[in-house]
Amino acid sequence: MNCEICGKELKGSGVKIMVEGTELTVCSSCKRYGSEKVSTTSQAEAKRVVIKKKKVRTDIEFKDELVDNFSQIIRMEREKRGWSQEQLAKKIQEKESLIKKIENAEITPDPEVVAKLEKLFGIKLKESVPVVKLEKKVSMTPTLGDVVVLKKKER
Ligand SMILES: [Zn+2]
């Protein structure tokens, strides 16, 4: 059983309070938001509850990423020119083993190597990819704010 206002786990049975005619079981620090079931405190007391809607922010960022078939493109462009892996390596002043690894998709080359290959072949090897960042919801327990909003919709 969790507190129906803050979502904290209740140690014991919790406190039953009335908020706008709804019975909620809450922890001792949240009982001030409503009137205790047995007491006759006025409804005005319950109105002090602040309605807070949890915001779910969506951020979209653009990130430069290597194209999917990067390794095939390199191999294709190299073979088109009739170059061996060794010749290509020499042209961009890198090791032949690096070219081998790139064409076998074993490694992701450094940005400088990518830039050199782009320049040499006159092609684009990077693309802008949108990255959607979703903020994690803090708690899945409905807060009093959510409960009040639901009730308002029913009216
Ligand atoms: Zn609480």
* b/e 67-104 (16+ beta carbons within 10 angstroms → b): eeebbebbbebbeeeebebeebbeebebeeebbeebbe
Domain boundaries, the chain: 15-54+137-154, 62-132
Confidence at 22, pLDDT banded by 50, 70, 90 = confident
CATH classification for the domain delimited by 62-132, as one of 1.10.1050.10, 1.10.260.40, 3.30.70.1890, 3.20.20.10: 1.10.260.40
CA 61 to ligand 1 center in whole angstroms: 37
- By C-alpha distance, which of 116, 113, 117, 111 is closest to 73? 117
Kindly state the DSSP code that residue 10 receives in the 8-state scheme.
P
Could you report how far apart the first and last alpha carbons of the chain are, in Å? 28
- Alpha helical stretches, state H, the chain: 43-46, 70-80, 85-91, 96-103, 111-121, 144-154
Beta strand pairing call for 15-19 and 126-134:
unpaired
Å from CA of 140 to ligand 1 middle: 15
Residues with CB under 5 Å of ion ligand 1 are: 3, 5-6, 26-27, 30
Distance 10 CA to ligand 1 centre (A): 8
Instruction: Kindly report the pTM of this predicted structure.
Output: 0.46
Name which of 77, 17, 56 is nearest 138 in CA terms. 56
3 state DSSP class of 15: strand
Q: How do residues 41-87 score in pLDDT, each as one tens digit?
A: 455 555 555 555 555 556 777 788 888 899 999 999 999 999 999 99
Can you give the pLDDT at residue 138?
54
At 140 the pLDDT is 58
Q: Tell me the sheet residues that pair with 126.
A: 66
CA of 3 to the centre of ligand 1 (A): 5
pLDDT tens-digit profile of 94-140? 999 999 999 999 998 999 999 999 999 999 998 887 777 765 555 55
